Amino acid sequence: MAMLFSCKDNYKRVGDEAQKVVYPQGVAKDLVFTYTETQEPVKNAEATVTKVQAVLTAAVMEDYDNLSFPRNVFPKGLQVDIYDEKNKKSVITADYGISYTSTKLISLHGNVVINTYDGKQFKTPQLYYDQINKWIFTQEKFEFVNPEDESVMLGTGFDSDEKLTKVNAHKTTGVKTFKDNEEL
């Protein structure tokens, strides 16, 4: 005598349970990535002069470049040291980051801080960087300190070139120090 049973799962999964688990194709730990450029194209294996443009440091990087929307995720934060043409260093830190490979957009979250070589400081909970247009922007609250004109600007919504020289601040308040002989 044989007994046959058949079970069918009619349960409809919702929320977190319905999401498919996606694993990275690779994971790097204690990452230090140095980005360099040459002034002339490299034509052979001979030694050539390079200049360090940036150094990315992260505890963990997860590589999802095999997905239809490729990206690299930095779940434990990151630091980027950026060097200008005179080798002056500016530093960007964040608690979490995603670099979208195909769109060249970087999204930083949690305690995002930019400290420029000339003493400017920018803080916000979230910041985007458009690598193609070399433009940073946020719709979140921010604080921008500029020691050159002794100003502190607070606001919501901000965009600027990557060197923080062409600043467009949205809803703002702030403090600026004027010297006695300076016009308003």
Task: Give a yes or no: residue 10 inside a domain.
Answer: no
Whole-structure pTM value: 0.79
Question: Is 9 a member of any domain?
Answer: no
How many domains are there within the chain? 1
- The predicted model gives 109-128 an average pLDDT of 95
Q: Please give the residue that has the higher pLDDT: either 165 or 24.
A: 24
- Residue 103 resides in a domain: yes
Domain containing 88 equals: 25-38+50-176
- pLDDT above 70 coverage of the chain, percent: 84
pLDDT tens digits, one per residue of 141-179: 999 998 888 888 899 998 988 887 888 888 888 776 666
Q: 123 with 113: CB under 8 angstroms?
A: yes
CATH code of residue 119: 2.60.450.10
